[in-house]
Structure 1
Amino acid sequence: MTRMTETETLNRNRDLILAQERRFAARVSARVIDKPKLAIWMILIPVFFVFYFWQLKRYSDGRKTFAANFVITRQRSLDQALAAVGSGEGPDVETVVNAADIPDPIRPDYRRWVAVLVDHYRDLLLAHGKSYTALIRDTYKNRTNYLLFLNRLNQVEREFDAALKPHVAETTENANGIIKLMEESAIAIRRQIADEIFP
């Protein structure tokens, strides 16, 4: 059996991390986007049954779009962490920040969030393990350390969200409620993941 090269190991770890981020995004989207309900009477009236399936497709497409957008900053941060590990230099957080189309006043909060993500991903990329769970265990060693990281991540995300709210409130109905639901969902799902990794 041949050993993986360092590049192969880094790429495998990147794929494991990205797959986990996509699963996380899908779980958050399931909590944030309401699934249409099928009433028994809809089955009896074909036009309503067709309408239900149209709504179901919109729901499915909406979840996919939400999840894809939810992962953009995370994927850019992961790519930057991989580039930093590969070059042996510090990560260029500004590259990720400058790629985002966000108002200038919230860039400092966004930069802090990205910096936390990049550091986390860099540590996971350098960890040993053949699964995401193994990478987390190797990086954080125990539940307490992992929960401390999650608390820090939740905090910088809340600060970024708070800075973002005034800018999205003008264009998005119930922006505060949506952001709050996203925050609560992310925190709850991260806690579940921590419980699964460190039972």
Structure 2
Amino acid sequence: MTDALTLTHKRDLILADEKRFAAQVSNRVIDKPRLDVWMILIPVFFIFYFWQLKRYAKGRKTFAANFLITRQRALDEALRSAENGNDPDIEALVQASDIPEKTRHGYRPWVTLLVAHYRDLILAHGSSYPELVKSTYKTRTNYLLFLNRLNQVERDFDAALKPHLEKTTDDVNGIIKLMEESVISLRRQLAETIFP
């Protein structure tokens, strides 16, 4: 039972880092309203600014929560798999998603890679997220190779999802491009922090 608690604690460390990462991505993707000096002079615009600011804060929280859905499911499956010593049930994760059927071919490789990554981290030695990554990947080069693979499967899934989003979202290409660029940049910074 002690081992299960240790695995759960590692899962919690990974989840905390994913939440931090989601917040950073949302900060880059969602535009914060600007307060111009003239807004202070006209009360109705000042009130409008605070309404926009509140909407921005709520939008960031919603974005981060949605950004984490698949990651948290994959992390929970990785924990179950590590605790039981069984292979992860990738198909159950794919079926649990509410994505269009035609995008599942791009979703499955992403989920598979996430679960394998999380499982490796959960089974690694360490008491912090950076220690788990170092224990798993050993060098910055190995970690960057993994991140490049992760970036690619995410781009493939985004490409499969894009036609379905174009029906409901304005400037879907710009949003996806900004998200992808933000994720790549933040992951590279993380790798440089973990492997200085």
Structures share a fold, TM > 0.5? yes
- Displacement of 1:8 after TM fit? 1.3
Most deviating of 100-109 and 51-60 = 100-109
Q: Distance in 2 between matches of 1:83 and 1:95?
A: 13
Does 2:140 match 1:140? no
Q: TM-score, normalised by structure 2?
A: 0.98
Corresponding residue for residue 129 of structure 1? 126
1:150 aligns with 2:147: yes
For 1:26, the equivalent position in structure 2 comes to: 23
Flag as ranges the 4+ runs of structure 1 deviating above 6 A: none
1:106 shift after superposition: 1.2
Distance between the aligned counterparts of 2:120 and 2:21, measured in 1? 19
- Within a 5 Å distance, the mapping from 1:165-184 to structure 2 comes to 165-184=162-181
Q: CA RMSD in A?
A: 0.9
- After TM superposition, the score normalised by the length of structure 1 is 0.97
Measure, in 1, the Cα distance between the counterparts of 2:193 and 2:137: 14
In the alignment, the residues of structure 2 paired with residue 95 and residue 57 of structure 1 have an alpha-carbon distance, to the nearest angstrom, of 37
**Which residue pairs with 1:159 in the alignment?**
156
1:45, distance to aligned residue in structure 2 (A): 1.5
Code of the aligned partner of 1:90: D
- For the pair 1:98 / 2:95, whether they are aligned, the reply is yes
In structure 1, distance between residues paired with 2:96 and 2:19: 20
- Deviation for aligned residue 1:17: 0.4
Could you tell me which of 53, 58, 62 is aligned with 2:55?
Answer: 58
Residue number in structure 2 paired with 1:110: 107
- Work out which of the residue numbers 67, 71, 76 in structure 1 matches 2:73: 76
**Which residues of 2 match residues 3-42 of structure 1 at below 5 A?**
5-42=2-39
Number of residue pairs the alignment of both structures matches: 196
Shift in Å at residue 49 of structure 1?
Answer: 1.0
Measure how far apart 1:129 and its partner are: 1.0
> Is 1:197 matched with 2:194?
yes
Q: Which amino acid aligns with 1:60?
A: A
Spell out, residue by residue over 1:111-150, the C-alpha distance to the aligned partner (whole angstroms, 9 max, x if none): 0000000000000000111110110001001100000000
Report the AA paired with residue 126 of structure 2: G
Residue type at the aligned position of 1:133 = P
**How far does residue 105 in structure 1 lie from its aligned partner after superposition?**
1.4
**Stretches of structure 2 lacking an aligned partner (at least 5 in a row):** none
